[in-house]
Structure 1
Amino acid sequence: SADEIAWHTQAILKHGDNPEPLVLLRAHRKAAQDAVQIFIYTRDQPNLFATTVAVLDRMNLDVQDAKIITASTAFSLDTYVVLDRFGTLLTDPEREETVKNALVKALSQPDQYPGLMQRRIPRQLRHFDIENTVDVTLNEALQQNMVEISTLDHPGLLARVGGLFMMQGLDIHSARIATLGERAEDIFFVTKKDGKPLNNEEVKLFSEKLKAALDEASNQICQH
């Protein structure tokens, strides 16, 4: 929206040449109650997405929506809409500062991946039977692979997916995360570290690993 662009532009101009990642939080008016918008502006780096979503998960923040954009200037402009499991993020300045500081610290040390948390799965999720689908295609114009995921949304999902991208040595150039009811519909544009897309054999292997990870998560939900 125009309001978001103005908010981002003013903050980036004010941030100037500061090498530290810029992290901003504000209420997200158009989403559910207690939704918080987090804007991150930082130099693009390996594992940026994996690190960000791992930190958000550790802070008990569930990503409902996200847009990841890597600018031609080698900076990443990322917007996350999160729900706070405690509902205190915007009313408790200390908690807001803790989240900001955790993100700035983690994004300033990209080689130190924070790792995944063991999560309690909400009981109500066990009643949903949503099939996991993974579709990986080549976008000819961008020479990037488009990875489309559809799965049951649950705490820690993006942290798990981000960790898998990292372990497979894939760079995320852009992404669109959306939560539709209980279903997560996520699209990522990725390449290998050398900037080239996956070949057919690599696509097959990666698709199988990603599907297996989603199926494993679904099985854990069913067993809880």
Structure 2
Amino acid sequence: MGVVERTWTWLATGAHWSGADGVWHRLSEHLYLTVVCLAISCAIALPVAVVLGHVGRGGALAVNLSNAGRAVPTFAVLVLLLLSPLGTYGSWPTIIALVLFAIPPMLTNAYVGMREVDRDVVEAARGMGMTGRQLIGRVELPLAFPLIMTGVRTAAVQVVATTTIAALAGGGGLGRIITAGFRLTDTAQVVAGALLVAVLALLVEGVFVLLKRLLDPGRRRRLSDV
């Protein structure tokens, strides 16, 4: 049989989906790492970007510093964290490495989105007596929302794909299927694991595209006007 047939056979074998090393368990680990990393990244990057974008100061420095972090390989950061005292804290080295990887696209897109809001609209809202908090909540955030969500979606897909490196450090996730395949010299298992990661990334992409459409304040306002 060819690689395609053997990969399909591997995926169609029920024993590969159950147990501690099965697909469902590894998928749950992968999703856990992804959700935790995204939640922490959003809690750090979005408030900073929104505030800096609103005041218009310090944003360029923050964006440049976060983008500089992209030049550092995530796996190298993970190895350094594993060699540090944090290496004894379970999944936290992986989570921290992935958070550092996810922050740049979130921070950059959110800041740019806030700064690209039409200044005439902002000044008009300020002239109506809106406070800074009201400007952010009622004017700037709704207009910047599409670009903010694009940054979150980009980070989510990147984290899903990069979480596979957790397996190289003994962590969980779908990457364990790939590393086990390499260890067993089972090409079908390696391809199956990679295919599962790719499908999950595409599903996450689709979910965030749908969320962007459903939660977009501008779209809801347009629908209410019809």
Highest Rg: 1 or 2? 2
Please give the range of the TM-score, normalised by the shorter of the 2 chains.
under 0.3
TM-score by length of 1: 0.27
Q: Which has the higher helix share?
A: 2
Q: Which has the higher strand share?
A: 1
Which structure has the higher relative contact order (CA within 8 Å, separation 6+)?
Answer: 2
